[in-house]
């Protein structure tokens, strides 16, 4: 089974699905992610991610952001981050915070602001 990165210029969302064919990958994305519902099939891109193929397990159709193991793969291997954070505590409690560049930026900004407040 092949891993595919599904994206579109119409929305700020991506996902990784497993399928043998590109067209099937887009159909899976449209079926499980409501944000792709109103986007024309031809406006959705499917890019191969051969390094992610190894994470396929039988009957797994996609990597689920809500699943901690999948989230770790999405962040470490694909560079995914949260679309938007409610507050910093979300980063603190996230299993993938050590690999997330958004979380690392937040930490660096905290350090910089605490250092400059000392002056």
pLDDT tens string 48-77: 999 999 999 999 999 998 899 999 999 899
| Cβ neighbourhood burial of 50 (10 Å; 0-12, 13-18, 19+) | exposed
Query: Is there a contact between 30 and 36 (Cβ–Cβ < 8 Å)?
Result: yes
pLDDT tens string 8-47: 988 888 999 999 999 999 999 999 998 888 899 999 999 9
Query: Is there a contact between 32 and 61 (Cβ–Cβ < 8 Å)?
Result: yes
């Amino acid at each position: 089974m092949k891993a595919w990165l599904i994206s579109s210029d119409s929305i700020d969302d991506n996902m990784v699905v497993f399928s043998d064919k590109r067209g099937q990958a887009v159909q899976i994305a449209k079926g499980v992610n409501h944000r792709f519902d109103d986007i024309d099939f031809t406006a959705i891109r499917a890019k191969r991610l051969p390094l992610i193929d190894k994470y396929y397990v039988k009957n797994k159709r996609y990597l689920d952001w809500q699943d901690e193991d999948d989230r770790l793969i999405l962040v470490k291997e694909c560079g995914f981050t949260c679309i938007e954070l409610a507050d910093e505590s979300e980063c603190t409690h996230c299993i993938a915070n050590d690999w997330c560049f958004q979380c690392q930026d937040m930490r660096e900004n905290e350090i910089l602001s605490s250092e400059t407040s000392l002056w």
